[in-house]
Amino acid sequence: VYGSFADPWTLADRLKWLQSQSPFATQPYEQLAKVLHDNGHDSDARTVLIAMETEMRSKEVLQQYTIPWWGCILGPWTWLWSGILHYTIGYGYNTWYAIVGSAFLLLFGSFYFSYASHYHDPRWIISTEHSEETYKPFSGFVYALETLLPFVDLYQAKHWVPNAQSQGGRILRRYLWVHTLLGWYFATMILAGLSGIVQK
């Protein structure tokens, strides 16, 4: 156990040395991350912990492939799920990945929905109200925000829907499904990351 560094090694050198250990153990990674954190290098500490998770999960996948026939099914799914956790929330150590993804979806959705509703073109998006006098003002940004965030009612989605009778409306509806599902996923990943559920 150590509390500081006396050698000139870079972080990449230290990680390479840790990855060469056999058998794999989490303690050296955790100790390095602790020392980096205690010395004010929080970003490097998170990098070490993410590297630890990546190494640990990759070894889990290899172990699963040794299980007769079942491992060939479980292994790829474990590998895929590990990759998703890595690139969306950094295994719970970098939840801002998912926050950036949500912000991108919100921005893209805002432009797309605003374009689709330009002049309230009925070929793309229509009001669920029967009378024009009862129309709720449409906002592409608010619509994108409401359909992105779970359990949020901003009085847009219930009054405006893509027009499934037109080609453009059908494309918009399919995008809306993807937009909403990704919103639920990112929200779940952000909460899981912040709560530490994903971290082992």
Model confidence at 151, in pLDDT bands (50, 70, 90)? confident
Mean pLDDT (the chain) is: 82
- Same domain assignment for residues 179 and 127: yes
Residue 144: is its pLDDT beyond 90?
yes
**Residue 199 resides in a domain:** no
Residue 125: is its pLDDT beyond 90?
no
Sheet strands (E) in the chain: 125-127, 160-162
Residue 159: is its pLDDT beyond 90?
no
- Structural domains of the chain, count: 2
- Same domain assignment for residues 68 and 106: no
Domain boundary residue, one of 76, 93, 110: 93
Dihedrals φ, ψ of 167, to 5°?
Answer: -60, -45
Domain boundary residue, one of 28, 60, 93: 93
Dihedrals φ, ψ of 3, to 5°?
Answer: -120, -5
Kindly state the greatest CA–CA separation across the chain: 76
Range of the domain at 156: 98-189
pLDDT > 90: what percent of the chain?
26
- Same domain assignment for residues 40 and 121: no
pLDDT digits (tens, 9 = 90+) for 63-122: 777 777 766 777 788 888 888 888 888 888 888 888 999 999 999 999 998 887 764 555
pLDDT greater at residue 20 or residue 120: 20
- Same domain assignment for residues 76 and 57: yes
- Same domain assignment for residues 38 and 71: yes
Is there a contact between 105 and 148 (Cβ–Cβ < 8 Å)? yes
**Residue 139 resides in a domain:** yes
- Looking at residue 44, what is its pLDDT? 92
**Residue 65 resides in a domain:** yes
**Residue 3 resides in a domain:** no
pLDDT greater at residue 56 or residue 137: 56
Domain boundary residue, one of 93, 126, 161: 93
Burial 156-187 (b: 16+ CB within 10 A, else e): bbeebebbeebeebeebeebbeebbebbeebb
- Same domain assignment for residues 69 and 142: no
